[in-house]
Amino acid sequence: MPEPPLHVLFLCTENACRSQMAEAWMRHLSGGRVRASSAGVRPGALHPMTVLAMEEAGVSMAGHHAKGLDGMDMTGVTHVVTVCGAAEARCPAFPGNVARHHWPIPDPMALTRDFPSLVNDGFRAIRDNIRDRVSMMLIRLDAARTDTEP
């Protein structure tokens, strides 16, 4: 299968949750039509609840790990989606015609900090929010492709 012409890069602070979920959803829902990757502006570690929440939804996180922008192959990036304010503020400039999007998605750990018993629910809510956003983005990307095809 040839390399998809679209490459969406998702950025968040630590690449521990939101951007990882978005990358996994894009790969899962696009069926290979879109190349997806993710990174953190200050990479940490992949949160175990991220893996659990995504696997509950039937989306594999195999091979996922937190990574930063340094050393990342950004060849062909066509869209950059920041999913938090820190990533939006520190998002680097990309050469060429790269579309930038910002999805202000709350950190699930911050949402549930005072209510530890709700952590699982917080991750599930963020997972579902991101799924819906990725689905809408795919609809728009597919429509734009159709509009530009001969």
- CA 147 vs. chain centroid, Å, equals 25
- CA neighbor of 56 nearest in space, from 107, 124, 105, 111: 124
Give the angle subtended at the CA of 16 by the CAs of 52 and 138, to the nearest 5°: 80
Residue 91 to residue 131: CA distance in whole angstroms: 22
Catalytic residue among 6, 8, 12, 21: 12
Catalytic residue among 84, 87, 105, 137: 84
12 is annotated as an active-site residue: yes
17 is annotated as an active-site residue: no
Catalytic residue among 52, 59, 69, 91: 91
Give the residue numbers marked as catalytic.
12, 84, 91
